[in-house]
Amino acid sequence: MSYRQEIPQPGPPGSLVANVLGYGAFGFAARCLQLGIMKRPLFSGPSGHVISTGVWAAFGYYAYHLEIKMEDVIWEKRKEIAERRAVRQEAIQALSAEA
């Protein structure tokens, strides 16, 4: 097994718009479920829906950028590990050639 293989850089994650809309839709659904459990009319006070959707959409925006940052960190760590393995493999080959 060769440790000199190129480690591919991570591709772009999913769409930012899809992430924000998905989390926002979850927030809206959670608010509807909350009102349903309390047996209140689902659309009597739309401000709660707006707040819940906005908070969850903001979390989706944060999660998107966090995912990008974490993928970059993981890629850098994998690159460092591959470089260390290559150096170790060269040292082992040099020692076995001397013997």
Phi, psi of 51 (to 5 degrees): -65, -45
Q: How many domains does the chain have?
A: 1
pTM: 0.71
Residue 5: per-residue pLDDT: 58
34 domain residue, yes or no: yes
32 domain residue, yes or no: yes
Residue 84: per-residue pLDDT: 95
Measured CA to CA in angstroms, residue 76 lies from 48, 51, 82 at distances of: 42, 38, 10
Exposure of 78 by Cβ count < 10 A (0-12 exposed, 13-18 middle, 19+ buried)?
middle
Residue 51: per-residue pLDDT: 96
6 domain residue, yes or no: no
How many angstroms separate the CA atoms of 65 and 49, rounded? 25
Whether pLDDT at 1 is above 50: no
63 domain residue, yes or no: yes
The residue with greater pLDDT, 90 or 11, is: 90
79 domain residue, yes or no: yes
**pLDDT tens for residues 7-42?**
666 666 678 899 999 999 999 999 999 999 999 998
1 domain residue, yes or no: no
| Average predicted confidence (pLDDT) for the chain | 88
Whether pLDDT at 2 is above 80: no
7 domain residue, yes or no: no
Contact 80, 50 (CB under 8 A): no
Q: Could you list the residue range(s) of the whole structural domain that residue 61 is in?
A: 16-98
Mean pLDDT of 73-87: 93
